[in-house]
């Protein structure tokens, strides 16, 4: 089994650098998928209220045969739950679905600036952390203006910002601000929703190291110091995705991958500045 390095967050907690994401994992197979992931060595499991599979994650946690203290479970607040009462109710529902007394990390899923309630949601997160119900609090899909506002209005900085990040969409403009504020990047869609797996340059690097395209990309994330949560429903791919600590990309490889960035043209998901969907 692979031992994954941990990253220390600004609040003193430690998070595994490589975890298993369960976005778009069907609820009826989630327990099996997460169980396979835990068996392969994953200790960070990333779900969300909007994924509708928290119950399956909870089932896998209970049947894993791994001490709860060794698992790091993350979920995210739904976009329609930013108002105080709704946020508290949504969090209670998350905890009931997961079957947990304390959550390792809870994130605001999207800022939804048109709704203008993300500061209110952040204040609830701070409160829940102070009550001991959540160890670490963070955000997802926040741009610098969203981050600056919640920091200015509460004095509390998120420990992570979970954003779309992959070789075609490297978001280098965010790094300086996040580092300055001690906010770690957590990369979702780390394989570009599959698009980067077909890249010829990535394939060439893979041949050089005797590794798959996915392993090359995940290793790239790891070497940047980011937290990364690839998703798979196949046990063999999960095992391959976590097996990236026995090799390293060299400076030529890193330079090649840096040249793959397409900027905004590489984005596969919604833009946080304009995303206004509620769930």
51 is catalytic: yes
Pair of tokens at residue 107: 């994130």
Q: Are 7 and 185 in contact (CB under 8 A)?
A: no
Q: Report the candidate in 61, 112, 114, 55 with the shortest Cα–Cα distance to residue 87.
A: 112
Q: Which residues contact 222 (CB under 8 A, 6 or more apart)?
A: 17, 18, 228, 244, 245
Q: Please, is 177 exposed, middle or buried when counting C-beta atoms within 10 Å of its C-beta (0-12, 13-18, 19+)?
A: middle
Looking at 42, 51, 118, 188, which residue is catalytic?
51
Determine the Cα–Cα distance for residues 139 and 106; give it in Å rounded to an integer: 8
Quick one: which of 78, 110, 79, 71 has its CA closest to 92?
A: 78
Say how far apart CA 213 and CA 193 lie, in whole Å. 13
Residue 131 has what DSSP assignment? T
DSSP H helices in 42-117: 54-63, 84-98
CB atoms within 10 A of CB 212: 18
CA-to-CA distance for 30 and 56, rounded, in angstroms?
A: 5
Burial group, residue 209, by CB count within 10 angstroms (0-12, 13-18, 19+): middle
Structure tokens at 185: 């990047």
**Positions marked catalytic:** 51
């Amino acid at each position: 089994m692979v031992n994954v390095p941990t990253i220390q967050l600004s609040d003193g907690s430690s998070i595994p650098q490589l975890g298993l994401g369960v976005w778009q994992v069907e609820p009826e197979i989630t327990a099996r998928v997460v169980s396979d992931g835990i068996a392969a060595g994953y200790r960070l499991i990333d779900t969300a209220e909007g994924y509708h599979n928290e119950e399956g994650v909870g089932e896998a946690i209970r049947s894993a045969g791994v001490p709860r203290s060794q698992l790091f479970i993350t979920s995210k607040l739904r976009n329609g739950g930013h108002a105080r009462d709704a946020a508290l109710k949504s969090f209670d529902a998350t905890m009931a679905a997961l079957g947990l007394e304390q959550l390792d990390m809870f994130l605001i899923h999207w800022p939804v600036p048109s709704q203008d309630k993300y500061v209110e949601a952040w204040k609830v997160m701070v409160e829940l952390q102070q009550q001991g119900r959540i160890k670490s609090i963070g955000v997802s899909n926040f741009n610098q203006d969203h981050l600056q506002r919640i920091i200015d209005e509460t004095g509390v900085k998120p420990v992570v910002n979970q954003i779309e990040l992959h070789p075609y969409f490297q978001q280098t403009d965010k790094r300086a601000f996040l580092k300055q504020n001690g906010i770690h990047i957590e990369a979702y869609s780390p394989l570009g929703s599959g698009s980067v797996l077909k890249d010829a340059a990535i394939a060439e690097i893979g041949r050089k190291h005797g590794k798959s395209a996915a392993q090359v990309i995940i290793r790239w994330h790891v070497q940047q110091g980011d937290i990364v949560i690839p998703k798979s429903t196949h046990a063999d791919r999960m095992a391959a995705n976590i097996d990236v600590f026995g090799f390293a990309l060299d400076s030529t490889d890193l330079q090649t991958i840096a040249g793959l960035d397409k900027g905004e043209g590489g984005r596969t998901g919604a833009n946080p500045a304009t995303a206004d969907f509620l769930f």
